[in-house]
Structure 1
Amino acid sequence: MRHTVTVEAYRGTGAYGPVYDPPATARALVAETVKQVRSPTGTVTVSTAQVYAGPGLDCPPGSRVTLPSGRTTRALTVADHTAPGLPAPESTEVYLE
């Protein structure tokens, strides 16, 4: 994991707008490439960056993520990859706006 990202986990909407947890850093691998993804609402959208981090990264869709380049973006989809009992690495994959 060559990069460090800052994640402000989305917790919902409050009286004054979106509510986020305090910023937390995580080691990750960042790929700033354009890919088509399906959002949680079912619409097809474009992801301009992907983050691959260790298992258990707390980054639900809607979270703010600051990339090593300094750009702040929002999480579109999150996938946890596990392989219980198998000798395979576990990870969390986050597609960003």
Structure 2
Amino acid sequence: MKLPGIWLRHKVTIEPYLGVGPSGPQYGPATTFRAFVEEKTRMVRSPAGDEVVSSATFYARLDVTCPAKSRARLPSGRRTTVIAELRHDGGGLPTPDHVEVQLV
């Protein structure tokens, strides 16, 4: 089951991290999509296992991809960086399948 559209009240823009090139970090083209943004400070784990402070999290449908280190722009205009992307897929169960993206 998809995350219900009524929950997706905000627009988020992501520039996906592609890796490091000769002139530094490389990013893909910006994509804007609907999400639910929660600006709340909490401790999370990075993909490397380190404890870091997340200042915001957003939830979007499973077709959204936000690799760690991607750049994000929130509805408030604040620019931030992706810590981790967590996929929540019920595998056919009637759950709201979504991606959770933790931000610096």
TM-score, with structure 2 as normaliser: 0.91
The alpha-carbon deviation at position 85 of structure 1 amounts to 2.1
Number of residue pairs the alignment of both structures matches: 97
**Could you list the per-position Cα deviations for residues 67-97 of structure 1 after superposition, in whole angstroms to 9, with x for gaps in the alignment?**
0000010000110110112111110000000
**Could you list the per-position Cα deviations for residues 43-70 of structure 1 after superposition, in whole angstroms to 9, with x for gaps in the alignment?**
1110000010011211000000000000
Aligned to 1:94: 101
Match of 2:63, SS? coil
TM-score, with structure 1 as normaliser: 0.97
Which one of the candidate residues 81, 92, 98 is aligned to 1:85? 92
| Segment drifting more, 7-16 vs 80-89 | 80-89
Note the aligned Cα RMSD (angstroms): 0.7
Residue identity in the other structure for 1:13 = V
Aligned to 1:35: 42
Alpha-carbon distance in structure 2 between the residues aligned to 1:88 and 1:61: 25
Aligned to 1:13: 20
Which structure 1 segments of 5+ residues have no match?
none
Alpha-carbon distance in structure 1 between the residues aligned to 2:31 and 2:64: 10
Which structure 2 segments of 5+ residues have no match?
1-7
